[in-house]
Structure 1
Amino acid sequence: MAARRPNTTLSFAELGVPQALTAVLADQGISTPFPIQTATLPDSLAGRDVLGRGRTGSGKTYAFLLPVLSRLAASGTPRRPGRPRALILAPTRELAGQITESLAPLAKALRLRTLTVFGGVAARPQINALRAGVDILVACPGRLADHMGEGHANLDAVEVTVLDEADHMADLGFLPVVRKLLDTTPKGGQRLLFSATLDSGVDTLVRRYLSNPVTHSVDSAQSPVDAMTHHVLQVRAEHRLPVLADLTAAPGRTVVFTRTKRGATKLTKQLIASGVPAVELHGNLGQSARTRNLGAFAEGRVRTLVATDIAARGIHVDDVTLVVHADPPMEHKAYLHRSGRTARAGAAGTVVTLMTADQAADVRDLTRKAGIKPRLTHVTPEHSLLAELAVGERSYVTPPVPSAITDTARNPGRRNGSGQRAGAGRGGSGSRAGAGERGVSGERAGAERGGSRRGGSGQRSGAAAKPRTRAGKEADTAARPPAPTGSAATFSSRSRAGSRRGGR
């Protein structure tokens, strides 16, 4: 595989991007290409197969969107029902959605039609859109494989295929279905593969599907980020929550990572009870709850997102100043991708890992493999370093009093004044956890194969409450995010000492 050194002085137009697209980029304030774009665009625009390696946040999305759009605009092939002209595969729904968000204004300028396909939502609108014909299909592998198996989609007209976060797909065990999809695309089509690392799984895809690719390595996952600082805080188990509450009560956006979905739900509840508005994001949530919670975080209505590794890639929210590994990840690649939610596109950021004494050896090994040298500090909730890591006055929200619906959800047999069972027994939107989801991130929801039986929100139609499992109870809290900043909830700005007395 050939490799070329990028020329970092060229503009998008000088790199060969059509004027219609450079105008859209300029309207969005994007005028200077990132290194990964400067490196790959000359080859991808020329029709070459490209393997681009760069860490998350390095600008890979435009590096593949621009050549895809340029190629389709130049070919002028008419769209046909069920046969997309370009395919972009992404491992998670959130990443697919963010790719589509970047794609939409560019495609509109060229009058190209796009469609996003993933599980956890009703399948019928996707099927109807496929039948109407699309130019660019952004898809998660599982739901697309289902559509193809049922005869709603065919990839024999795909002119260019993109695999984004290919190493993540390999990590999640998507390789068999990805290979099945790629096997149905034309062998002569252009293929662009973008990945943070080139491990054995990704190398299998490269050797099988890319023809004489040009390789460009810019800002790999192991590359240090000058504007990112790393800290390991050793805490006693009983101090973990107070330390987390102090860090997340500071101004600015924070992403907190846990190992498990249940852990994310539990920690979200604990932070809310401590006066820190937070929302959760993990695979047990229905798609409507995932979209709502991520939207509340991105729009600033809630400043803390508690997530599993589902948010480690593809989640781009501006101005995330702090990433906290509440649970140290299992392996170093997860650490690097989690940490990549901050210090994006040249911005500064801080990464904090919380560990107890019995986790010290594992964390030491983790950071060594990640190629970083964090500052280790033994802290208590009163330690002055916390104010340096998360700068600004702490603010807390008085936790809301549980509503009648919440109380009823906890006691399904309880009746209201009329003698009827109160509510539907699920509170909020009634979002139901996807019982069929697998693993922590990128997995398919239980509704993926047949669409939602309860419509887009997954609500129950029956009014009677039924005793629920613990997983069902946890899903309710996610479906009811806390009152956003600036709501009728009572606020109080406390000193650090005051927050430790009342914020726990």
Structure 2
Amino acid sequence: MDSAFPIQAAVIPDILAGRDVLGRAATGSGKTLAFGLPMLVRLFGAPSVPKRPRGLILAPTRELAIQIEAALDEPALSLGLRLATAVGGLPIKKQEERLARGVDVVIATPGRLTDLLGRKAVQLADIRVVTVDEADHMAELGFLPQLTALLNKVPDDAQQLLFSATLDESIDGLTQKYLREPATHAIATAVVAADAEAGTAATEANSAAPSTGAATQSGADSLGSEASRMGKVAAGPDIAHYALHVRRPDKRAVVSEIAARQGRTLLFVRTQHGADKLARKLREIGIGAVALHGGKAQNQRNRMLAAFADGTAPVLVATDVAARGLHIDDVSLVVHVDPPADPKDYLHRTGRTARAGASGTVVTIVTPDDREEAARLAERASVTLTDVEVRPGDRTLTEITGARRPSGRPIADPAAPPAQAQKAEPEQPRFRQQRPRGESRPHNKKRKPGAARRSSR
């Protein structure tokens, strides 16, 4: 794509000008480059000393932090800037060594950065630009105390950037305390409103002026209300939303046929156990599925994501750990196998498809017990669902999702380590070598020390 996405066109001039920025845009809309590229430009030309980076990006999850590094690595290299991630689940000693060699930008989760500060492996006194990505999710995960403690260590004159697909009341205090007369930008196509009236006002404001003006310091209350007004989640562009109504006994078969489709498919479930179980059941009927959730070690999560990204595993079964920050190209279908409880989760899950201007389809599997809950969720998320009754093998199911009948032939875990993959292969039968009839057994067995020789009488 030759032109900038709306959020990039809106915020980059303000960041380059040195202003604090409060930004909201749909997932998959280019927020990482929107804050990352101008940050790199502002840091260009002044070397960092060991253990004292000049740029800081804080993210709520390991996957998001690693993904941000991947997105910014090439432009940073072209400017001669060095990046490093500091996240949990990976050896802290290697991260200490990397910081000791000197980096310009550190991309970190709050917990691991706090640990590194405690070990005196890093200092934040030289930070010139700090970005908080998905701040509302940090609040939901309970990271707000750690986040504020970290921001307190950043110099007062550092440029502060706060981005998310959702900015709500949970971070009003954060914006009021740390952002100085920020330029506020809200790029949205759909919103989650606290009430219909507030939602309409926000939508009209976004339509009239995608890039809003700065909230002034004299209007501290207005800054708080601005963050609250921006407490809406943008749905991804060009997405078709369906509610597939199924009988409870048909749910597994319908999900299996959807998973057997061609193309990269992301299935969301509520629990870690549910993710592992569904992925295993899909492999048993011939579908290359892997599971991703917070209970897996980082090396396992890396293997799952790599298998999904390269097509080895066309189906990823995930909990909401994958609902934010995960960017995989060409995810053409997102399936809410278990409907989420919160409209923000619905839209963050949805944002895994139709990224960077592509189109996508999102379906929610709805059993009779879930009908009222699904309807309320769609209303709160300001999403229009097309309700369709389906059963296994239906033509309509195929037309919407590309569903097809699984092969039924079990396959191995596509993301299993080589050693496990070998163990999964059936062992060849071992046959005892037969001696010719009449041949005696050779007496080559050693006697135990001290054993008496038998004598025949």
Q: Is the 8 A contact 1:175 1:201 kept in 2?
A: no
Residue 83 of structure 1 corresponds to which residue in structure 2?
52
Q: Percent identical across equivalent pairs?
A: 48
Q: Which runs of 4+ in 1 moved over 3 A?
A: 223-226, 392-397, 427-430, 479-483
Residue 153 of structure 2 corresponds to which residue in structure 1?
184
Once the two structures are superposed, what CA deviation does each residue of 1:277-333 show, in whole Å capped at 9, x if it has no partner? 101110111111100110010111111000000100111111111000010001100
Residue 87 of structure 2 corresponds to which residue in structure 1?
118
CA distance in 2, matches of 1:98, 1:219: 23
Determine if the alignment matches structure 1 residue 327 to structure 2 residue 341.
no
Residue 42 of structure 2 corresponds to which residue in structure 1?
71
CA distance in 2, matches of 1:243, 1:80: 57
Alpha carbons of 1:482 and 1:373: their partners in 2 closer, same or farther (altered >3 Å)? farther
Determine if the alignment matches structure 1 residue 106 to structure 2 residue 75.
yes
Moved more, 62-71 or 220-229: 220-229
Determine if the alignment matches structure 1 residue 377 to structure 2 residue 377.
no
Amino acid at match of 1:218: I
Given candidates 176, 193, 196, the residue that maps to 1:207 is 176
Residue 227 of structure 2 corresponds to which residue in structure 1?
none
Alpha carbons of 1:36 and 1:180: their partners in 2 closer, same or farther (altered >3 Å)? same
Moved more, 182-191 or 198-207: 198-207
Once the two structures are superposed, what CA deviation does each residue of 1:9-63 show, in whole Å capped at 9, x if it has no partner? xxxxxxxxxxxxxxxxxxxxx5310000000011110100011110110110110
CA distance in 1, matches of 2:320, 2:421: 22
SS at match of 1:396: coil
CA distance in 2, matches of 1:130, 1:226: 39
What do you get for the CA RMSD once the two structures are aligned?
Answer: 2.2
SS at match of 2:265: strand
Given candidates 287, 301, 317, the residue that maps to 1:306 is 317
Amino acid at match of 1:69: L
Aligned residues: 381
Structure 1 segment 456-475 matched on structure 2, within 5 A: none
Structure 1 segment 8-407 matched on structure 2, within 5 A: 30-73=1-44, 76-219=45-188, 222=191, 223-391=234-402, 396=407, 398-400=409-411
Structure 2: stretches of 5+ with no match in the other structure: 192-233, 425-457
Alpha carbons of 1:225 and 1:111: their partners in 2 closer, same or farther (altered >3 Å)? closer
Alpha carbons of 1:221 and 1:68: their partners in 2 closer, same or farther (altered >3 Å)? farther
Alpha carbons of 1:225 and 1:289: their partners in 2 closer, same or farther (altered >3 Å)? closer
SS at match of 2:76: helix
Amino acid at match of 1:343: A
Amino acid at match of 2:350: S
Structure 1 residue 198, shift from structure 2 partner: 2.1
CA distance in 1, matches of 2:136, 2:190: 11
Structure 1 residue 395, shift from structure 2 partner: 5.7
CA distance in 1, matches of 2:408, 2:345: 32
Alpha carbons of 1:481 and 1:204: their partners in 2 closer, same or farther (altered >3 Å)? farther
Structure 1: stretches of 5+ with no match in the other structure: 1-29, 403-426, 431-478, 484-504
SS at match of 2:107: strand
CA distance in 1, matches of 2:20, 2:46: 20
Alpha carbons of 1:70 and 1:228: their partners in 2 closer, same or farther (altered >3 Å)? same
CA distance in 1, matches of 2:423, 2:359: 28
Structure 1 residue 481, shift from structure 2 partner: 12
CA distance in 1, matches of 2:165, 2:107: 20
CA distance in 2, matches of 1:401, 1:147: 39
CA distance in 2, matches of 1:134, 1:261: 36
Higher relative contact order (CA 8 A, sep 6+): 1
